Amino acid sequence: MDVSKTKSSFYRRLYVAWLIDSQTASSVPALTEVTGMPRRTAQDTIAALADLDIVCEFEQQDGARNHAGRYQIRSWGPVDKNWVGEHLVQIKQVLGYP
């Protein structure tokens, strides 16, 4: 299946937001483990969520050092998170993720 870079980028952002929001993977190491994407791609994808008006914030763990903590989705903005959940199989298939 031939997928445009725009669509795959959009789906990657939706999938990462869903993984963070569902607490399946709420840190960069967890995202790389679940998806197999490189660390830099995971970091860039998290940063790019703001382009979709998805508010994602890092929550520092109390007493932890070296940026230990997790990401949280504060707002999905104009994105329907229920649609994302209902289309996870399709999204993962397009992205080639397990």
Confidence (pTM) = 0.92
- Cβ distance 84 to 14 under 8 Å? yes
pLDDT tens across 29-63, in order?
999 999 999 999 999 999 999 999 999 999 987 76
So what's the pLDDT on residue 68? Answer: 78
Average pLDDT over residues 61-80: 86
Query: Considering the domain 5-95 in this protein, what is its CATH number?
Result: 1.10.10.10
Contacts 24+ apart (CB under 8 A), 84-87: 84/14, 84/15, 84/17, 84/18, 85/18, 85/22
Domains in the chain: boundaries: 5-95
So what's the pLDDT on residue 48? Answer: 98
